[in-house]
Structure 1
């Protein structure tokens, strides 16, 4: 796809394609919201990816026409059947379980699955004729081998033999001999070596070879019968065949995306039903050691200006790439929670220079041709690199202003880059136009590859020329030719950019200060309410105490006896003495570094002075009374569980041969074999131990009984080793 190449996504998408079991278009047919749900569910599970499978559309048409499939093509269908049977055994939940439960395999199809081994060969055990013929074929091959060995050991032939090996030329056994061999050996020359020697099939093998050919022919006849039989069953169940083939492609889309995202730590983002684009920490996959891109393209037009080689084109490609990847549910590197990507019918890059010898068109004419197609479009995202390319910039500014105004009315979303400031200045007053500038570091004399929204950027053409080796006197002469007025305009633009950056930095600092003040305001408000509550309680308490004292004093005045009056006055004085506001005392010692609670806020003590503490409340520092603090246990951060990465064995097999091994060596190999099989995801394996004395078989089975991951085991079928082998279910 040209779009993928233009956006520098070709390597990334090719890497994604490698995760598919078979090549197919990126687009997933059906409801994108439903696909997104399935992908998110599948991310929670570990599962085996499917093996490579060929496209079977032509084979399905062949079945419908009552044709006979080749056994190798039938096995491609069997691979699909087996994979879905494997998926149905997994403990999926939710939508995945419901979907897989709906796939009901006919018994005829389940029988066909048993006809093939893991390599795609038709099992001899399904037909007695095949068993007999393969046994005869084995004997014939042994006969050929013995005859050749006899010739190799012949004294007459020793002087003509180049080596003592049996060579396979065009699938025939041959001897390599020197010239003159015909005096001692009759045979047919089937080839010449690079040294001029002859590959000869001896005449003595002719009858045996004819027998071998006859057996092979009979085997092919039997296999053809089975191919016809299976093809007829497929025709009977053609609706199921077409359905399962389509469902395999659907799951293949899901698993490839999930496994691709896991392999590169990528994230999915579902396109929303609008045209808003907000990217947070987006990284274009073609960039090495990138700076994450943050851009808000909520408006209809985005104009990117600024320093040469400052990343303007890559910002443009990143916006289009994010929209493209989201459209096809391809995972990407970004903050998916804080990003937002709209949905577009089409993504149109106008990036390359269209001028070349083949199309006989100028750069500007090619650009006009590209723009002319936009007036018939709706709901599209357009990216234009260097919009004034190929013509006078002042004329182009006026022309493209009018074009952009019209596209704005049509609802087309456009992002453009430009080195010229006039177009940006002409469009800056529109509410639906957003300006972005690539930032230049004056001190380092280099672009920062960062962007600032809301300003027009200077191109820094002269500075870039100096940086890339243009002689200084040439640059100075160019500046003089450029003119003082133009230079001052560029300086004003850059000064405006600097002021904007300074203003944004000050705003950020002010916002932090406002957050701190708001925190203090809330804390003071809480303290005020608390103090008012305490004062009210103390007031009520004092009022009660003084009332008691007054009552006692009155009683003393009324008392007739002097002794009783003195006693009552003493009691009133004692009650009055108790009427003091008790200060809160610190019940526990608080030290620097302690975690404390003040009202509803938690913090850490930085320093202590007299009866006050200086406390850090998550970045906001303030002084509070010691008696208002309560010592608390610090909140422990949850430690992430250690992740154990287990690498898959480099060589995987479902069979283990223990012939010729001692018991201890054999058990060691069995232990490793089962571990490797579990890692690989095998659920059934085969162990060959032979019959012999039965000691090795007994030891192996005793080991399997005690292994926690072995579900069961039993003797292998006769065609797979019988009593000399054990089938193990994991």
Structure 2
């Protein structure tokens, strides 16, 4: 169904001043089609955007296939012109196929499989749609004979124009073609010197005459053409028979070309006028940024956020209220039909509606004897029959007492909202605006007036009720200052003050609601953050517990591996086991150290590695003797930590430092006896603290003094259970294996 056959759509296009825009758009169609594309709009939009991304030539103008398909279905014979319409469509799709495009356009073009039978028909047509007679020998010969006869006719006519007898009667020496007859243009009295048939009269009073001497040649041409027409008919019959067999293919390309034509018309129209392609969304929100109504020239771009159910536009006369209403409805209409428009497509959002309805014009008509108000009521009653529509009402109070209308239209608008409608209203009636302003789903906009220069700015401000500035507008359009001043005096200051109070009261009420709304949003935001912090705290705590358990397990595994290494008899096995133990130990996190000096004294509770003890003696500030689990150990103070210091618990991180184990062997080679016993004492203390139950001490053989000192020390040490010479592969007499 074509849009022109839908009076409602035609009326809406006219009401919204879109006639010229739609007419220009239609010129880009290859053949007449509906504005609305049947089917999945999301899918159509994907194809349109994909086509918009490539450069391509416009399709040729193509006729409708309805009669063509009807004739083929009835086994009729098509004319060459009808056959060429099909050829044009196939050739255009082949043009796209040859480009080997990627994406959905390329996939689409691959669906067109051209049958060999069609190629047998297509080859007979030139690019201009003429039948190629060169492919048929008989037609070629007949055509050559026609050309020859026509050349003879021209020669005969040229000889006549050179005749001295005919020369006085000739108006010009050209050969004219009138009604497919070759003629000469002559004056009256020509019949004395020229025999022939008069074909027509010229505007200057001359006569177009076809001479008798070329009649015989014309007759021969006529016979030849009849023979050619018979051959053409036989070809048309043959072609029609083949195309009848290809009717499913013709139906397919006809349907696909109609769809493609809708796509390409939108793309090429948008490119030609620098317009944007935007599709309606699946909601009712309307946000326009940089929209320009196509009927306006050098207009200020419209920006409006219409997210609520009702937009009420007030303010100065001739300030652009009606055009803002038409712009909102036009944008929704064009987005519904994916018609290109001037808008910022990235910042705009246009919802989808089942219908776009407008109550704009004055319905009063002499023929139907109806008043303005009665006509408006009829239009509103029709809207109540619809649902989920975008409705625009210009000057809603038109045609009746505004005070009575305020209450009536307030209730009407409330009921329309319940029907799912979204409504744009322009009004000068502040009482109606004030009544509607207390609704949460009403957005107020006012046309701004430049009081200094006394002109409208054609800009709008959200959240206020605007003045009409009727007196200023009347004065601007030629009403004398005297009349305007008298009208102001008659209107009275009190009325003006009342209007100002209504406007200001409405503005303050809306500002208060906005502030309350912002506070509520802030509270919700804080509550959300509080919940997120609690969840994060619980998550971090769980994660730390897992890390601690993993560290404990790694710690235990490392100790077990190290003990196995100590019991091994082979040094290589010991080293391998130690390497495995080190790998299983968690990496020590090195924290940046702050240089400071810690003072220790006798009696301080300290921690040495993982053991706690008490300082029983101080050699100097650098060394101390600490009693740990009944043992006294000489250590450096830098290795001690006070245990009285209370560490602050971290709410986010728990750092675990694990000290590396002491070595399993002690090498005393080259030391004096006194020095060796001191080193051995510290080595055994460290081994006990770290949990080793077996170590090895290397002292060598030499003079035997160092070996003797080691034996004597081990005999007297309270924690040494036994000791013996090491196996030969571990040092023999030069080493002792000590059991703790």
Inter-partner Cα distance in structure 1 for 2:420 and 2:248: 45
Among residues 228, 244, 265, which one is paired with 1:219 in the alignment?
228
Q: Provide the secondary structure at the position in 2 that maps to 1:50.
A: coil
Q: Provide the secondary structure at the position in 2 that maps to 1:51.
A: coil
Inter-partner Cα distance in structure 1 for 2:497 and 2:165: 103
1:339 maps onto 2:392 in alignment? no
- Deviation by residue 1:239-265 (Cα, 9 ceiling, x = unmatched): 111110111111111111111111222
1:427-442 → structure 2 map (5 Å cutoff): 427-442=436-451
Among residues 33, 45, 57, which one is paired with 2:66 in the alignment?
57
- Deviation by residue 1:336-366 (Cα, 9 ceiling, x = unmatched): 1221111111111111111122332111111
Q: Kindly tell me: are residues 144 and 496 of structure 1, through their superposed partners in 2, closer, same or farther at Cα, counting changes over 3 Å?
A: farther
Query: Highest Rg: 1 or 2?
Result: 2
- Deviation by residue 1:490-540 (Cα, 9 ceiling, x = unmatched): 334566799899999x9xxxxxxxxxxxxxxxxxxxxxxxxxxxxxx9983
Aligned to 1:361: 370
Aligned to 2:657: none
Q: Provide the secondary structure at the position in 2 that maps to 1:75.
A: helix
Among residues 416, 423, 433, which one is paired with 1:414 in the alignment?
423
1:237-276 → structure 2 map (5 Å cutoff): 237-276=246-285
Q: Provide the secondary structure at the position in 2 that maps to 1:364.
A: helix
Q: Provide the secondary structure at the position in 1 that maps to 2:24.
A: helix
Aligned to 1:13: 22
Aligned to 1:585: none
1:38 maps onto 2:47 in alignment? yes
Q: Kindly tell me: are residues 501 and 177 of structure 1, through their superposed partners in 2, closer, same or farther at Cα, counting changes over 3 Å?
A: farther
Inter-partner Cα distance in structure 1 for 2:88 and 2:505: 65
Q: Kindly tell me: are residues 274 and 145 of structure 1, through their superposed partners in 2, closer, same or farther at Cα, counting changes over 3 Å?
A: same
Aligned to 1:583: none
- Deviation by residue 1:645-683 (Cα, 9 ceiling, x = unmatched): xxxxxxxxxxxxxxxxxxxxxxxxxxxxxxxxxxxxxxx
- Deviation of 1:419 after TM superposition, in Å, equals 1.0
1:372 maps onto 2:425 in alignment? no
1:482 maps onto 2:535 in alignment? no
Q: Kindly tell me: are residues 96 and 539 of structure 1, through their superposed partners in 2, closer, same or farther at Cα, counting changes over 3 Å?
A: closer
Q: Provide the secondary structure at the position in 1 that maps to 2:384.
A: helix
Inter-partner Cα distance in structure 2 for 1:499 and 1:289: 36
Inter-partner Cα distance in structure 2 for 1:469 and 1:496: 33
Q: What is the TM-score of this pair, normalised by structure 1?
A: 0.69
Inter-partner Cα distance in structure 2 for 1:36 and 1:172: 55
1:79 maps onto 2:84 in alignment? no
- Deviation by residue 1:545-568 (Cα, 9 ceiling, x = unmatched): 999xxx9x9689xxxxxxxxxxxx
Q: Provide the secondary structure at the position in 2 that maps to 1:543.
A: coil
- Deviation of 1:269 after TM superposition, in Å, equals 1.9
Q: Provide the secondary structure at the position in 1 that maps to 2:314.
A: strand
Contact kept in structure 2, 1:297 and 1:434, CA below 8 Å = yes
1:455 maps onto 2:455 in alignment? no
Inter-partner Cα distance in structure 2 for 1:298 and 1:201: 78
Among residues 111, 133, 148, which one is paired with 1:124 in the alignment?
133
- Deviation by residue 1:431-486 (Cα, 9 ceiling, x = unmatched): 22211111111222111111112111111111111111211111111111112221
Aligned to 1:101: 110
1:398 maps onto 2:451 in alignment? no
Inter-partner Cα distance in structure 2 for 1:439 and 1:176: 73
Aligned to 1:330: 339
Inter-partner Cα distance in structure 2 for 1:182 and 1:354: 70
Among residues 296, 303, 324, which one is paired with 1:294 in the alignment?
303
- Deviation by residue 1:119-168 (Cα, 9 ceiling, x = unmatched): 11100123222111111111111111111111112222122222111111
1:88 maps onto 2:141 in alignment? no
Contact kept in structure 1, 2:430 and 2:503, CA below 8 Å = no
Q: Kindly tell me: are residues 450 and 502 of structure 1, through their superposed partners in 2, closer, same or farther at Cα, counting changes over 3 Å?
A: farther
Inter-partner Cα distance in structure 2 for 1:259 and 1:272: 23
Q: Kindly tell me: are residues 140 and 260 of structure 1, through their superposed partners in 2, closer, same or farther at Cα, counting changes over 3 Å?
A: same
Inter-partner Cα distance in structure 1 for 2:67 and 2:598: 102
Inter-partner Cα distance in structure 2 for 1:255 and 1:315: 30
Aligned to 1:587: none
1:170 maps onto 2:179 in alignment? yes
Aligned to 1:4: 13
Aligned to 1:204: 213
- The total of aligned residue pairs comes to 526
- Deviation of 1:231 after TM superposition, in Å, equals 1.3
Contact kept in structure 2, 1:82 and 1:113, CA below 8 Å = no
In structure 2, the gaps of 5 or more residues are: 1-9, 516-589, 601-617, 624-740
- Deviation of 1:386 after TM superposition, in Å, equals 0.6
More deviation in 212-221 or 252-261?
Answer: 212-221
- Deviation of 1:92 after TM superposition, in Å, equals 1.6
Q: Provide the secondary structure at the position in 2 that maps to 1:280.
A: strand
Contact kept in structure 2, 1:162 and 1:177, CA below 8 Å = yes
Contact kept in structure 1, 2:285 and 2:349, CA below 8 Å = yes
Among residues 530, 540, 545, which one is paired with 2:593 in the alignment?
540
Contact kept in structure 2, 1:455 and 1:500, CA below 8 Å = no
1:161 maps onto 2:170 in alignment? yes
- Deviation by residue 1:205-228 (Cα, 9 ceiling, x = unmatched): 110011111112222221111111
In structure 1, the gaps of 5 or more residues are: 507-536, 557-730
- Deviation of 1:62 after TM superposition, in Å, equals 2.0
Q: CA RMSD, aligned part only?
A: 2.8
- Deviation of 1:542 after TM superposition, in Å, equals 3.0
- Deviation of 1:56 after TM superposition, in Å, equals 2.0
Inter-partner Cα distance in structure 1 for 2:169 and 2:43: 74
1:383 maps onto 2:436 in alignment? no
Aligned to 1:680: none
- Deviation by residue 1:619-658 (Cα, 9 ceiling, x = unmatched): xxxxxxxxxxxxxxxxxxxxxxxxxxxxxxxxxxxxxxxx
